[in-house]
Homo-oligomer: A and B are copies of this chain.
Amino acid sequence: MSEAEEYAKTPRSTVNRYKPRAVYDHATVHSIIDEAPVAHVSFNPTPLDDDPFPTILPMLACTGSYTKPGAEEKSAVGIYLHGHVASRLMRLPDTQSEDQSTLGLPGAPVCVAATLFDGVVLALTPFNHSCNYRSAVVHGFANIVVDEEEKSYALKLLTDNLVPGRWDNSRVPPTEAELKGTTVLRVDIASASAKIRGYAAGNDKADLANDEMRKRVWTGVVPAATVFGQPIAAAENLVVEVPEYIHSWIDGGNKARRAYSEVVASKAGPQK
């Protein structure tokens, strides 16, 4: 599966509002999930007759493509999640396989959403206000990763997606108790789409014709980014200097995120 490929537009995944903002290519969808510090995972915990609400949990998530030792081809890209072995979401694939409503499905149906917030868009009228953002919404089937090598691959991937290089620079290998206490889920992607707004404020012709009002109402974009601060060592820390891989991750990431939010703030948007 090439990164240049696109996810099929299904009724479930097709963006209907502001169609020019929709993106379906794999690389964009995956990068939003990997870059967002937190993903939101939605699922129906119980049969709807008992409780009609889907629920949402904030989770760490990252995309990965695991190749079995000796295999020639990489697997399709999936989304890895992890959690305590006894938590409700981690037990979902097991509990739902006994549930009539999902019987026969290839896993527990979940939705994974990730959103990067890039700024506030201040138009002349509140009704043209908006945000700059990049969001991905993925629907897929979650299953517990039982292959021990794939589980190790996923746990390293999730750790390094938080801070690149962190796994090898922490206390590894994990103990048997750590591995037993942690469940990894892989969400096999059924459909996916992304939506991106990254441009200047858009104003209506009628408002632009009103010079008196335009002299009162400031219009533009206030860019925004997640910015990491200086590392604060734990009381128990024995490493005198903050390691270089942490510094370069902080500085490089802050610079890139700020630059992106500023560049798109003055881009021209689609014609009104």
**Chain A residues near B (Cβ < 8 Å):** 12, 16-17, 37-38, 40, 42-45, 48, 51-58, 60, 83-84, 87-88, 101-102, 105, 109-113, 115, 117, 119-120, 122-127, 129, 131, 133, 135, 137, 139, 155-156, 159, 162-163, 166-167, 169-172, 174, 178, 181-182, 190, 200-201, 203, 207-208, 210-211, 213-239, 242-243, 246, 250, 258, 261-262, 265-266
Contact = CB atoms under 8 A, between A and B. Distances in A.
A127 B178 contact: yes
B131 A38 contact: yes
Copies of this chain, tallied across the complex: 2
Contacts of A230: 223
Interface of A is mostly: mixed
Contacts of A139: 53, 55
Given A219-B233, A232-B266, A126 B225 contact: no
B52 A131 contact: no
Given A51-B12, A56-B111, A111-B42, A261 B217 contact: no
A159 B236 contact: no
